[in-house]
Structure 1
Amino acid sequence: MKALWILLAALLPAAGAAQEGTGGQALPLSLRRAVDIALAPEGNVRVRLAREGLRQAGARSAQARAELLPQVSSSLNYRDQTVNLRANGLRFHIPVIEGSAFSFPALVGPYNVMDARLSGSQTLFDFGSIRRFQSSRAAVSAARKEMESAEEEVAARVARAYLSAIRADADLEAAGANVTLSEGVLDLAENQKAAGTSTGIEITRARVQLANDRQRLLVAQTARRRAHMELLRAMNLELEVALELTDRLGYVPADPATLESAAALALAGRPDLAAQRERERSARLASSAVKMERLPSLSFFGDYGTIGGGFDDALPTRAYGISLRLPIFDGGRMDARRAESASLHRAEKARTEDLEKQIELDVRLALDALHSAREQIEVSGEGLRLAENELAQARRRYAAGVSFGLEVTDAQTRLERARDNQIQALYNYNLARIDLEQAMGRVRQRLP
């Protein structure tokens, strides 16, 4: 029995009917559709969190940009007040006419003051603010690449979960075939005993084998349910949804790739590496922004409005000018911030270098696993063919009465092991393909 079916899915409609199948009808699901459901707006939480992170980075960038844009505000003040002149330093000692009732008051008021005013300011140049804005734009780019990396990771996770599910389907199918085979051997043993060419131990041995295969069938059924629920969880669907997987476990020749070409593609296409490089650039610009806070900054300010005792007697007033700011001494705060930002930049640079080395390791391991799995498929296919021939010969010999049932049981056990070996080899091969595509950052691109 050769199981050379295609793993990768045909393109089906996306996540529009994600919750189908809850009413007892199974939801047809291909690999492509499973990934589309996971990447939908209400899909996997990892992608949703990454999208929120992108929105947060955009909001922080807008805040940094606001420092470079005009600031305009309006105000309206109305107050009734009294003033203690002496408390404000106004003390008059002027001689007055003796006997006169006139004297300078210490308390003035109450009187009204109304002030309606429009104020504005504009930064003319501030290199620190410019660098902070550039750093925030790099952070937005990093968040965007991080979202792509999250989508890539989720696609790989769903692909592995889908692969485990179709592997569980194949295990269940093989377990069912083994039960059918054991039932056939038991029938043959009973017929041979009825014909007087077999003994009771042959029937007992066949029944033991049938019981073992039925036990394995129950285990395979449980494993299948578990694999399907893990796939549903990866897609963020309800766990009671029934699935009908449209792809089967099989062998599709992979495109030949050398270590050099695969590593080059990975370094150029991995979104997590691109995100890390953007984080490093953002940290470098943030460090530069702190250094430039030592430079002078120039801004323009102005206001215009009316002030008076009320609207009837208010007069227009205005003020405008420029402000030059030059930091001189701040107690060492700026030096400490500069040291901190430089350390953060060095840390991001170290993370970038470490990730590049990790990517090379990922590619090497995936290629090695792929080559090994390809050889396993060839060996397991030959072993399965030989085991099928051995069982067929053993059954013919047993039916002809020239051998014992033990020979059939042993051949049956080896056939079951050969089936398991082929399923495991196909699983390892397709898993290695997923690992290689993820190592090169193109899981989504390779889906049909």
Structure 2
Amino acid sequence: MSCPRFCKFSFLGTLVLSMVLSPLAANAVPLPLQEAIQEAIRNNPQTAASRSVIEQAEQQVVQAKSGYQPQLYLSETYSTTNNPMWAFGTKLNQERITQEDFAPDRLNHPDAINNSATVLNMEWPIYTGGQVGLRVDQARIQVQGATRQAERVKQELIARTVSAYSGLVLAKANLNVIEEAIHTASAYRDMIETRYRSGLSVKSDALRAQVRVAELEQERIQAESQIRVAQAMLNSILGRSIDEEFDVVDVLHSPRALPPERIDFWEEKALQARPDLAAIRLKKEMADKEVARAKAEHLPQLALVGNYEINSEKFDDAGTNYTLGAMVKLNLYSGQRISGKTREAEAAVKQVAAIQREMDSAVLVQTRQAYLRLQSAYNRISVAQASIAQAEEGLKIVRDRYENGLYPLVSLLDAELSLKQARTAHIQALYDYLVATAELRLASGTIDEGFPESAQ
């Protein structure tokens, strides 16, 4: 029997959209998961940003160490004056004083004098109460903290790559399940239409079978769209153009067994291995040194100072002089500035300590959550496998009885739907298990570029 006009239109429309949203090109190059992880580490902008942060911290060490070195400044000043004191002093610096310059009238009413002063100035801190050393220590700690944060960014990037990569595998697997269901439903539709033409079935059964195929065609279009979205998400993480196409390798496999370690093992491992926890501990150490730096401002400071000066009026002759000395500086009263700075630093120590306690608690929660998700996904895999076997056996029984006129069509379609749902649930459980494994490794700070082999 022919399909009604609206049914034909629906089927042709879904067929055309299916061709437009066809999956990846047949000649797409396969990309294994570990190669994808390596590519993400190389090309993702977050990796470059982390390296830049480390480089900034390293340059802060260089800047801090400069406090041990003498500071040299060169200045050039040009001036003109008829101020009696400055005019006489300027001429004296130019080494051009003569007997006539001591005449009272010339001393009181000098002519304007021009001067070009070239000064080389030196300041060399000898003792700063430990402030320079503390600043260097802080800068070095900053490098360590930036390195730990970069390690954490790398771990998070690996986990994101695993999730996006397996998400693309899942989307393709879902499409395969739907296409298999379409193949089965089309066979049923053809069988029912044949029975209807023979008078062994009613028209409503033929229409219902046609509708079921159309519903599955719509699901296929959605599944193909999901593949495109998953591909774009993975491309973004890998640092590729979002339109680039490549194939992925199936990584959704049934696990042999759960990791043998207990949950307390993973929680202890997380507190020890998480790079971001190490970074916050380093931040606490930096805050402690900031307190010491603030207190050091109460101590005396000693520096050597000196300058070499060249004074000239017309650049054809010049007078030179130098000055060398030492300077001791001790703050007697700062208007509570140093005390306030010290209390501010002590408050920052308390703040970092509170953040550290909060992070410790959050890490334990994340680890436990990932561990329980892993257990749940593992148990669901075996249940889903059993459900597939039961659904396949059930479909076989219902199909035989439908062909013998013992069951209505709705029972056959329900049995076919149950099998499709069981297969979808199975691949979803495999996906959830792989992602939960990555999340547990991420939460415990043990995920690396060798995942998933390194997690077995």
Bin for the TM-score computed over the shorter chain: 0.7 to 0.9
Q: Equivalent residues in 2 for 1:25-174 (5 A)?
A: 26-40=28-42, 43-75=43-75, 81-85=81-85, 103-111=105-113, 113=115, 115-126=117-128, 127-174=130-177
CA contact (8 A) 2:167 2:230 kept: yes
DSSP-derived class of the 1:39 partner: helix
1:430 aligns with 2:396: no
- What is the alpha-carbon distance in structure 2 between the residues aligned to residue 243 and residue 308 of structure 1? 75
* Alignment partner, residue 213 of structure 2: 210
Taking every aligned residue pair, what percent have the same amino acid on both sides?
Answer: 26
The amino acid that maps onto 1:179 is I
Which of the numbers 335, 343, 355 marks the counterpart of 1:351?
355
- What is the alpha-carbon distance in structure 2 between the residues aligned to residue 266 and residue 60 of structure 1? 30
Distance 1:372 1:191, change over 3 A: same
DSSP-derived class of the 1:67 partner: helix
* Alignment partner, residue 342 of structure 1: 346
Of 359-368 and 390-399, deviating more is: 390-399
Over residues 153-201 of structure 1, what are the superposed CA-to-partner deviations in whole Å (9 max), with x where a residue is unaligned?
Answer: 2221222122221111111111111111101111222333455543333
DSSP-derived class of the 1:108 partner: coil
Q: CA deviation at 1:140?
A: 1.8
Which of the numbers 378, 382, 385 marks the counterpart of 2:382?
378
Q: CA deviation at 1:76?
A: 5.2
Q: Of Structure 1 and Structure 2, which has the larger fraction of its residues in helix? A: 2
Which TM-score applies when normalising by structure 1? 0.84
Q: CA deviation at 1:329?
A: 0.8
Q: CA deviation at 1:129?
A: 2.2
Over residues 235-272 of structure 1, what are the superposed CA-to-partner deviations in whole Å (9 max), with x where a residue is unaligned?
Answer: 33222112311234222345322122212221222111
The amino acid that maps onto 1:268 is Q
Q: CA deviation at 1:370?
A: 0.8
1:291 aligns with 2:295: yes
Q: CA deviation at 1:412?
A: 0.6
- What is the alpha-carbon distance in structure 1 between the residues aligned to residue 218 and residue 237 of structure 2? 29
CA contact (8 A) 2:34 2:450 kept: no
Q: CA deviation at 1:294?
A: 0.9
CA contact (8 A) 2:87 2:113 kept: no
Over residues 295-325 of structure 1, what are the superposed CA-to-partner deviations in whole Å (9 max), with x where a residue is unaligned?
Answer: 1111222334555667776465332222211
CA contact (8 A) 2:81 2:87 kept: no
Q: CA deviation at 1:365?
A: 0.8
- What is the alpha-carbon distance in structure 2 between the residues aligned to residue 66 and residue 23 of structure 1? 59
The amino acid that maps onto 2:218 is Q
Which of the numbers 190, 195, 203 marks the counterpart of 2:193?
190
CA contact (8 A) 2:271 2:444 kept: yes
- What is the alpha-carbon distance in structure 2 between the residues aligned to residue 137 and residue 221 of structure 1? 51
- What is the alpha-carbon distance in structure 2 between the residues aligned to residue 88 and residue 315 of structure 1? 14
- What is the alpha-carbon distance in structure 2 between the residues aligned to residue 386 and residue 24 of structure 1? 35
- What is the alpha-carbon distance in structure 2 between the residues aligned to residue 305 and residue 102 of structure 1? 28
DSSP-derived class of the 1:51 partner: helix
- What is the alpha-carbon distance in structure 2 between the residues aligned to residue 236 and residue 86 of structure 1? 67
* Alignment partner, residue 369 of structure 1: 373
Q: CA deviation at 1:327?
A: 0.8
The amino acid that maps onto 1:124 is I
CA contact (8 A) 1:114 1:314 kept: no
* Alignment partner, residue 333 of structure 2: 329
- Unaligned runs of at least 5 residues, structure 2: 1-23, 90-102
- What is the alpha-carbon distance in structure 2 between the residues aligned to residue 429 and residue 144 of structure 1? 30
DSSP-derived class of the 2:436 partner: helix
CA contact (8 A) 2:83 2:110 kept: yes
- What is the alpha-carbon distance in structure 2 between the residues aligned to residue 86 and residue 183 of structure 1? 107
CA contact (8 A) 2:37 2:449 kept: no
The amino acid that maps onto 2:188 is V
- Unaligned runs of at least 5 residues, structure 1: 1-21, 90-100
Over residues 381-438 of structure 1, what are the superposed CA-to-partner deviations in whole Å (9 max), with x where a residue is unaligned?
Answer: 0001110111122223334455443332221111112112112211221121111011
- What is the alpha-carbon distance in structure 1 between the residues aligned to residue 27 and residue 110 of structure 2? 88
Which of the numbers 397, 415, 420 marks the counterpart of 2:419?
415
- What is the alpha-carbon distance in structure 2 between the residues aligned to residue 365 and residue 390 of structure 1? 36
The aligned length equals 414
1:225 aligns with 2:223: no
Q: CA deviation at 1:375?
A: 0.7
* Alignment partner, residue 14 of structure 1: none
CA contact (8 A) 2:169 2:249 kept: no
- What is the alpha-carbon distance in structure 2 between the residues aligned to residue 376 and residue 245 of structure 1? 25
The amino acid that maps onto 2:232 is M
- What is the alpha-carbon distance in structure 2 between the residues aligned to residue 444 and residue 140 of structure 1? 22
DSSP-derived class of the 1:299 partner: strand
CA contact (8 A) 1:85 1:107 kept: no
DSSP-derived class of the 2:201 partner: coil
Of 237-246 and 286-295, deviating more is: 237-246
Q: CA deviation at 1:439?
A: 0.3
Q: CA deviation at 1:348?
A: 1.1
Over residues 118-151 of structure 1, what are the superposed CA-to-partner deviations in whole Å (9 max), with x where a residue is unaligned?
Answer: 4323222211222122112211211121111112
Distance 1:133 1:332, change over 3 A: same
CA contact (8 A) 1:283 1:344 kept: yes
Q: CA deviation at 1:214?
A: 1.5
The amino acid that maps onto 1:207 is Q
Which TM-score applies when normalising by structure 2? 0.82
- What is the alpha-carbon distance in structure 1 between the residues aligned to residue 419 and residue 85 of structure 2? 109
